[in-house]
Structure 1
Amino acid sequence: MMRTYVRIWNGRVVELFETDLDITKLFHPDLVWKDVTEMEPLPLEGWLVVGDTFAPDPELPISD
């Protein structure tokens, strides 16, 4: 089953990645990945992360 992950760095989502492989085997263990497959809405690059909560950065412009 394809899963969607976000990479988190400095309290922000910096990358989205989809795979059906084990994410822990694909990247260096220092990289922080979070499974967001079931999240609605799906977090986007630039979103803020606090614990398990994702939110758009109010400073970033909203694009269509």
Structure 2
Amino acid sequence: MLAGVLFDDDFNVMKAALIPIALVVEKSTFIAHTNSNRFMLRDDVWNAPGVQDVTAAIATAMP
């Protein structure tokens, strides 16, 4: 699982999700010059099968 969190300008949690690694691999792009993979947390990811919305749990854990 990959945890994805979006914050507002004051670092309050706007959205948070747990994303299955299979989806991360599927949506990632290999970048040769850095020998790395790039995963963009786009709108379609939030509604993908297997993605768990944990916004409420993360937001309540913030001070």
TM over 0.5: no
Instruction: Give the structure with the larger strand fraction.
Output: 1
Q: TM-score, normalised by structure 2?
A: 0.35
Q: TM-score, normalised by structure 1?
A: 0.35
Higher Rg of the two aligned structures: 2
